[in-house]
Amino acid sequence: MVNKLVSYSVVSISANLTFPSRDKPYGTKSQLLDRLHILVTMIALQLPYNYNYPTITLRLPLFHADWDFFALISVSHQLLVSKTLVWLKYMAKQSRKLEDSSVESAPITEELETSKPCSKNIYKLDICHHTAPDLTGIHQPQLAHSYETYPEFAVALKTGRDVVASRCPIQTSTFLSRVKNLIVIAESSEVSLGDIPVYDVYSSTQKPYRKSRRSPQLEYLGNKTHSLKKRESDAIVIDQDSLGWKLDAHKNIPGMRLLYEKFPNAECRPPLSWIKHCFHWSTTAFDRYHDCWGGDIRLALCLRDAGVLLQGQSGFHSDPPNTKFSFKDRDPCERPITFHHLLPHQVQLLYEADKKMHGDVTYSDVVDRFSRLKSNITSQHDRPGHDYKTLTISLAECQAQCENDKLCQSWSHSNGSCKLKDSMPDMTEVKDEKTFTNSYPLHYTCANR
């Protein structure tokens, strides 16, 4: 892959963004969004309280084969104070080919200048300052989602030093911005996340246990850091050789204890009876559960021994709501509770869906939010897989068939062959100019709304 590096500084804050060049378009829109969102969130978290510029608008052009991708980000000082500070608006301009193929690969650096006007140079990063920017059409976070939204909850965000910078900022700037009683737990004291306190729940709690069960592999991992890997299906897969993953199982129980100690008056936190049982453990008790690879499993066994039996419930998912996630057997009016392995831009989309609703967010709301980038007919692209019907009809008839069939969520058409799909697989680029694809998520709606 050939990468371009765009560097910029805002006052004293520096950050980097890498993305594929035009002639090597291996990056996807979601990958670009992911990198961009992490970068902007980290900048926003570091802006000082007395930041002088009320609003900064950044325009970043990102190249991808036959279209150019613009992301417009606005960071407001007012929203920074309220801890709900980042929002994203993006748009894809289709079928616009870049005429100049000689894109420079050298780094481009631009400094913030208050007098500099916004330009439209599609090969450079433009940073411009507005005193009264035009925010028409930009979805702004509501200040009503403040720290006092859920004062009765106590929440511990479990992380590790390998992933705190890439995974946590989007959590604390969206859903967790509403939680007053919030701590972050990790396996190292070398972890920081803005102004939120981070506690090492591994070192002191596990010291006697680690001494009796010293592992060469664990010591080796202690000197390494690993990054998250990305699945092709728009999801995060954990690097199981990473330090954070290997030590993850040891954080749940001490983290629950710390949560109780920090917020004893919160209504939604671990009951004292659980804490007393789970933390009067000896080394023998640790040995009893050390074969359990998951910290949640260890905690569940601990609660079981305390006589607390948890019942399963639908709505908990081990995957994100991406193109591989099946909605066809789910009632669109049902309420999802959690998703797993989400990329930062996916967390942002769920956050926007949640703020949009006055009641519970349903599966149909999730589909609506996640399918917005896939709602236009696109040439020279296909969506392989998930075919449930193949017809020999025209392009217009193929679109009409999908619109009239409630099972159809997307379709592809190539040389007279129409394939109707019960899901929305990822788009892949093809050379055939007579291949088209589109999605039709409007069929997946909740009739009770």
3 state SS of 421: strand
**β strands within 26-125, DSSP E:** 55-64, 67-76, 86-93, 108-111
Phi, psi of 43 (to 5 degrees): -65, -45
| pLDDT category of residue 68 using cuts at 50, 70 and 90 | very low
Taking only the tens place, the pLDDT of each residue in 141-151 is 333 334 456 77
pLDDT for residue 363 is more than 70: yes
List for the chain the helix, strand, coil content (%; round to 5): 30, 25, 45
Q: How confident is the model at residue 78 (pLDDT cuts 50, 70, 90)?
A: very low
Residue 326 has a pLDDT of 66
Q: Which residue has better confidence, 220 or 394?
A: 394
Q: Confidence class of residue 441 from pLDDT cuts 50, 70 and 90?
A: low
Q: Is the pLDDT of residue 259 over 80?
A: yes
Catalogue all structural domains in the chain, each as residue range(s) with its CATH number.
Answer: 28-62 (no CATH), 316-443 (3.50.4.10)
pLDDT, residue 393, reads 93
Mean pLDDT of 29-37: 53
Q: Nearest 5°: CA angle at 388, between 386 and 390?
A: 110
Of 350, 352, 356, residue with least CA distance to 336: 350
CA distance 36 to 51: 22
pLDDT tens for 280-315 read 554 445 566 666 767 777 778 777 777 777 777 788
pLDDT beyond 60 at 408: yes
pTM of full prediction above 0.75: no
Task: Tell me what the mean pLDDT of segment 226-230 comes to.
Answer: 40
Residue-level pLDDT at 314: 82
pLDDT of residue 309: 79
Residue appearing with tokens 């009641």: 359
* Rounded Cα–Cα distance for residues 190 and 433 (Å): 53
> Which stretch of 33-37, 180-184, 223-227 has the lowest confidence by average pLDDT?
223-227
Mean pLDDT confidence for 348-367: 81
